[in-house]
Amino acid sequence: MNYELLLSTETSSSDELNAISRLVHGRRVDGILLLGSKREDPIISFLEAEKFPFVLIGRSETHPEAPMVDNNNVQTAFDATTHLIAQGHKRIGFVSGPPDLTLSHDRMLGYKNALEEAGLDANNDWIVEGEFLQESGFRAMSLFMSLPDRPTALVVIDDNVAFGVLRALAELGYNVPEDISVVSFNNIALSELASPPLSSIDIGTYQLGYTAVQVLLKILNGEQLPQNPVIIPHRLIVRDSSLFTLSGNV
Residue at 122: amino acid letter: A
Q: Is residue 78 part of a domain?
A: yes
- The reported pLDDT for the residue numbered 88 is 96
Which parts of the chain sit beneath pLDDT 50? 249-250
Which residues contact residue 95 at a Cβ distance below 8 angstroms, ignoring those fewer than 6 apart? 128, 130, 136, 137, 140, 154, 155, 156, 157, 161, 162, 165
Number of structural domains (the chain) is 2
CB 85 within 8 A of CB 118: yes
Q: Is residue 66 part of a domain?
A: yes
Return the beta strands (E) in the chain as ranges: 32-35, 54-57, 68-70, 92-96, 127-129, 153-156, 181-185, 199-202, 230-231, 235-237
- CA nearest to 182, candidates 250, 174, 114, 117: 174
Same domain, 77 and 196: yes
CA dihedral sign of residues 127, 130, 133, 135: negative
- Full-prediction pTM beyond 0.85? yes
Same domain, 213 and 136: no
In three-state secondary structure terms, 16 is helix
Q: Is residue 3 part of a domain?
A: no
Same domain, 82 and 186: yes
- The reported pLDDT for the residue numbered 249 is 43
Domain that holds residue 110: 73-202+236-242
Same domain, 62 and 157: no
CA dihedral sign of residues 133, 145, 75, 107: negative
Same domain, 177 and 214: no
* Cα distances (angstroms) measured from residue 35 to each of 1, 7, 38, 116, 208: 21, 11, 10, 31, 10
Reported as half-sphere exposure (CB side, CA atoms, 13 A), residue 1 has a value of 12
For residue 53, cis peptide bond before it (omega within 30 degrees of 0): no
- The reported pLDDT for the residue numbered 247 is 63
Q: How confident is the model over 169-209, as pLDDT tens digits?
A: 999 999 999 999 999 999 999 999 999 999 999 999 999 99
Same domain, 66 and 79: no
For residues 67 and 86, give the distance between their C-alpha atoms in angstroms, rounded to a whole number.
36
- CA nearest to 77, candidates 106, 41, 118, 45: 106
Same domain, 23 and 91: no
For residues 181 and 152, give the distance between their C-alpha atoms in angstroms, rounded to a whole number.
6
Q: Is residue 227 part of a domain?
A: yes
Q: Is residue 105 part of a domain?
A: yes
Q: Is residue 91 part of a domain?
A: yes
Same domain, 81 and 182: yes
Same domain, 198 and 80: yes
Q: Is residue 95 part of a domain?
A: yes
Same domain, 167 and 46: no
CB 42 within 8 A of CB 13: yes
